[in-house]
Amino acid sequence: MAGADSETKRIVFLGPPNSGKGTQAVMLARKIGIPAISTGEMLRAAVAVGSELGGRVREVMDRGALVDDELMVEVVSRRLAENDAVAGFLLDGYPRTAAQARSLAELSPIDDVVLLDAPEEVLVKRALGRGRTDDREEVVRERLRVYREQTAPLIEEYENQRLLRRVDGDQTIEEVEKAILCVLARNGA
Catalytic-residue membership of 102: no
Q: 3-class SS at 37?
A: strand
Scan residues 156-175 and list those touching ligand AMP (CB under 6 A).
none
Cα gap 174→121, rounded to integer Å: 21
Span interacting with ligand AMP, options 38-46, 81-89, 157-165, 181-189, rule CB under 6 A: 38-46
Distance spanning both ends of the chain, measured CA to CA: 8
Active-site hit among 9, 21, 126, 165: 21
Of 58 and 166, CB closest to ligand AMP = 58
Examine the residue annotation and report whether 143 is marked as an active-site residue of this protein: yes
Site for ligand AMP in 98-117 (CB under 6 A): 100
Residue 6 beta carbon to ligand AMP: minimum distance, rounded to whole angstroms: 28
Chain positions 73 to 92 lying near ligand AMP, rule: CB under 6 A, are none
Q: Which of 30, 132, 145, 148 is catalytic?
A: 132
State CA 139 to chain mean position distance.
19
67 binds ligand AMP (CB under 6 A): yes
**Neighbouring residues of 30: CB distance < 8 A, sequence distance ≥ 6:** 36
Cβ density class 94-109: b for 16+ within 10 Å, e for less? bbbbeebbebbeeebe
Name which of 103, 105, 118 is nearest 179 in CA terms.
118
Question: What residues are annotated to the active site?
Answer: 21, 96, 130, 132, 143
Residues in touch with ligand AMP (CB under 6 A): 17, 39-40, 43, 60-61, 64-67, 72, 93-94, 96, 100, 143
